[in-house]
Amino acid sequence: MSSAISLAALLANNPLAHGLRKLVGAGSQAPRAYRLINVELKQRIDLSPCLARLVFGGEDVAHVRTLAPDQRIKLLFPAADGCPPDLPREGDWHAARRKLPAAQQPPMRTYTIRALRAEPAELDVDFVLHGVSGPASRWATHAKVGDRLQMAVPNKAFSGDPGGYEWQPPAGIRKVLLIGDETALPAIAGILEDLMEYPVPPDVQAFIEVPHESDCLALRHNHQTRLSWLPRDVLGAAHGEALMHAARELAELPAPSRPPRRPKPREQADDLRPWDSATPSDNGFYAWIAGESGTVMKIRRHLIDERGLERRNLALMGYWRQGRSLE
């Protein structure tokens, strides 16, 4: 059974809190790091039976900026009464949302900017269609051209760094490991494209787990990149199993920085949404890992406790949680 976790609880309990506060625009200074915009669905491109690219347009898209291929945004969906979100774009939209009766409160979920174009002003989001149990996937499944949403996005008028991204490999990075499930596919696809711009391409190994063989998309990447698709239907694997196998058996990892150790009790705790930013001290190795929270926690334990990797070289993000609804 799914249960909704309030944003306030998430902010209070989670290391992602600082970034989320920026995302929801808390505070009153203008221009803010993130702002609320109105968008309209311009085009729908079915990438595979489980993945749809929704192209959003509208005047407000001109106010968006993106700083990294995993730039996260908040999407606001029609409330239980069926009305499209209509929160005030100026002022504290988050407070305005909280004051609405439950049936009128637009549900909010986190997504990745897959692409942002200036002319015409368009923003692409790739949605995993996992069914109709959640407001985001349900909306994306039925969305038609002309349907309206609101989004909290990095504000072009804000001159500082708005945050909301984790892909920050050190300059001259030599070895990169990417691990993710279908929700991380949009970010990994963008990261692989980003890596094509590097003057000296690092050694890259990437593992992407997807529901079906038909979800293995033709991604652009350096020809040296070793990209492994892990389709669950072909492998007969449950969600996360193939990624865990890849982390254990297939990933070429640097030599351990210290002997393996037994996990401390805190690391065995059931984090709702694990979130570790990487803070590498050199350019030797950088890993970016995102997907279902339970899987990400298992991979974290394996890489750090059993393989002796430095925590600071790993960006680990729980993108969703089996059986829960997270904003």
Ligand X SMILES: Cc1cc2nc3c(=O)[nH]c(=O)nc-3n(C[C@H](O)[C@H](O)[C@H](O)COP(=O)(O)OP(=O)(O)OC[C@H]3O[C@@H](n4cnc5c(N)ncnc54)[C@H](O)[C@@H]3O)c2cc1C
- Which stretches of the chain bind ligand X, using CB under 6 A? 2, 72, 109-112, 126-128, 130, 133-137, 183, 186, 319-326
**Residue closer to ligand X (CB basis): 280 or 294:** 294
What is the nearest approach in angstroms of ligand X to the Cβ of residue 4?
A: 7
Q: Which is nearer to ligand X, 3 or 29 (CB)?
A: 3
CB of 106 to ligand X, least distance (A): 12
d(CA 93, CA 99): 10
For the chain, report the end-to-end CA distance as a whole number of angstroms: 16
Beta bridge partners of 55: 43, 124
Least spacing, CB of residue 275 vs ligand X, in Å: 8
Please tell me the distance from the alpha carbon of residue 105 to that of residue 92, in angstroms, as a whole number: 15
Query: Shortest approach of ligand X to residue 212 CB, angstroms?
Result: 13
Distances (CA, A) of 43 to 40, 47, 83, 239: 9, 12, 21, 30
Structural contact between residues 135 and 43, judged by C-beta atoms closer than 8 angstroms: no
Closest distance between ligand X and the C-beta of residue 3, in Å? 9
Q: How far is CA 86 from CA 63, 79, 248, 254, in A?
A: 18, 10, 47, 50
Shorter beta-carbon distance to ligand X: residue 69 or 175: 69
CA distance 186 to 112: 7
Q: Which is nearer to ligand X, 63 or 232 (CB)?
A: 232
Minimum Å gap between C-beta 224 and ligand X is 26
Nearer to ligand X, 126 or 310 (CB): 126
Q: How far is CA 4 from CA 133, 135, 286, in A?
A: 12, 11, 33
Residue 322 buriedness (CB in 10 A; 0-12 / 13-18 / 19+): exposed
Q: Using the minimum distance from each CB to ligand X, give the nearer residue, 43 or 224.
A: 43
Helix (H, G, I), strand (E, B) or coil at 26: coil
